[in-house]
Amino acid sequence: MRIDRIEASKHKRGRVLVFLADGSLLKVTEQELLTFGLRSGDELDEETLTRLKESAGVSNIKTTAADLVGRRAMSRRDLEKKLQEKGASETEARYAGEWLEAIGALDDGAYAAALVRHCGDMGYGPRRTREKLREKGVPQELWDEALDELPPEPSYMAVQKLVDEFKVSGADLIVACGGGSVMDAAKLASVLVTDAYGVKELLDNPGMAQKCVPIVLIPTTAGTGAEVTPNAIVAVPEKELKVGIVNENMIADYVILDARMIKNLPRKIAAATGVDALAHCIECFTSNKANPFSDLYALEGLDLILNNIEKACDDPDAMAEKNRMQIAAYYGGLAITASGTTAVHALSYPLGGKYHIAHGVSNAILLAPVMRFNSEHPAVKERLAVAYDRCCHENKTCTTVDEKAAWMIARLEAIVKHLDIPTSLKEFGVPAEDLEGLVESGMQVQRLLVNNMRPVTADDARKLYQEIM
- 381 or 161, greater pLDDT: 381
In angstroms, the Cα distances linking 265 to 213, 226, 316 are 30, 17, 8
What does the pLDDT read at residue 352?
A: 80
- 118 or 79, greater pLDDT: 79
Contact 298, 336 (CB under 8 A): no
3-class secondary-structure state, position 328: helix
What does the pLDDT read at residue 82?
A: 87
Residue 335 has pLDDT above 70, yes or no: yes
Confidence band for 86, pLDDT divided at 50, 70 and 90: confident
Q: Which of 256, 267, 199 is nearest to 233 (CA)?
A: 199
Contact 213, 222 (CB under 8 A): no
Average pLDDT over residues 295-305: 97
Phi, psi of 173 (to 5 degrees): -155, 140
Distance CA 244, CA 203 (A): 8
Phi, psi of 178 (to 5 degrees): 170, -160
Phi, psi of 25 (to 5 degrees): -130, 130
What does the pLDDT read at residue 190?
A: 92
Residue 126 has pLDDT above 70, yes or no: no
Candidate CATH numbers 3.40.50.1970, 3.40.50.2300, 3.30.950.10, 3.40.50.200; the one for domain 154-256: 3.40.50.1970
Average pLDDT over residues 201-221: 90
Residues across the chain:
469
Contact 15, 29 (CB under 8 A): yes
Distance CA 200, CA 204 (A): 7
Contact 245, 234 (CB under 8 A): yes
Instruction: Determine which of 39-43, 52-56, 144-148, 288-292 has the lowest per-residue pLDDT on average.
Output: 52-56
Q: Which of 286, 239, 246, 240 is nearest to 447 (CA)?
A: 246
Domain ranges of the chain: 3-102, 108-147, 154-256, 263-469
Confidence band for 274, pLDDT divided at 50, 70 and 90: very high
Q: How many CA atoms lie within 13 A of 238 on its CB side?
A: 3
Residue 381 has pLDDT above 90, yes or no: yes
- 322 or 357, greater pLDDT: 322
3-class secondary-structure state, position 41: coil
Instruction: Determine which of 78-87, 236-245, 353-362 has the lowest per-residue pLDDT on average.
Output: 236-245
Distance CA 120, CA 150 (A): 5
Bridge partners, residue 233, by sequence: 244
- 449 or 86, greater pLDDT: 449
Contact 176, 218 (CB under 8 A): yes
Contact 185, 165 (CB under 8 A): no
- 224 or 293, greater pLDDT: 293
Average pLDDT over residues 67-72: 78
Q: Radius of gyration of the chain from Cα atoms?
A: 29
Residue 121 has pLDDT above 60, yes or no: no
What does the pLDDT read at residue 110?
A: 82
Q: Which of 388, 386, 389, 276 is nearest to 341 (CA)?
A: 276
Instruction: Determine which of 396-410, 427-441, 455-469 has the lowest per-residue pLDDT on average.
Output: 427-441
Q: How many Cβ atoms are within 10 Å of 259's Cβ, its own excluded?
A: 18
What does the pLDDT read at residue 240?
A: 58
Confidence band for 152, pLDDT divided at 50, 70 and 90: low
Residue 47 has pLDDT above 90, yes or no: no
Confidence band for 210, pLDDT divided at 50, 70 and 90: very high
Confidence band for 398, pLDDT divided at 50, 70 and 90: very high
Confidence band for 457, pLDDT divided at 50, 70 and 90: very high
Percent of the chain residues past pLDDT 70, beyond the cut = 90
Q: How many Cβ atoms are within 10 Å of 140's Cβ, its own excluded?
A: 9
Check the CA dihedral 132-136-137-141 and report its sign. negative
Q: Which residues contact 201 (CB under 8 A, 6 or more apart)?
A: 208
Candidate CATH numbers 3.10.20.30, 1.20.1090.10, 3.20.190.10, 3.40.640.10; the one for domain 263-469: 1.20.1090.10
**Region label for 23, one of left (φ > 0), alpha (ψ between -120 and 50) or beta (otherwise):** left
Look at the domain 3-102 and name its fold.
Answer: Arc Repressor Mutant, subunit A (1.10.10)
Average pLDDT over residues 190-215: 87
Bridge partners, residue 6, by sequence: 18
Q: Which amino acid is at 72?
A: R
377-394: burial string, b at 16+ Cβ within 10 Å, e else? eeebbebbbbbbeebbee
Residue 49 has pLDDT above 60, yes or no: yes
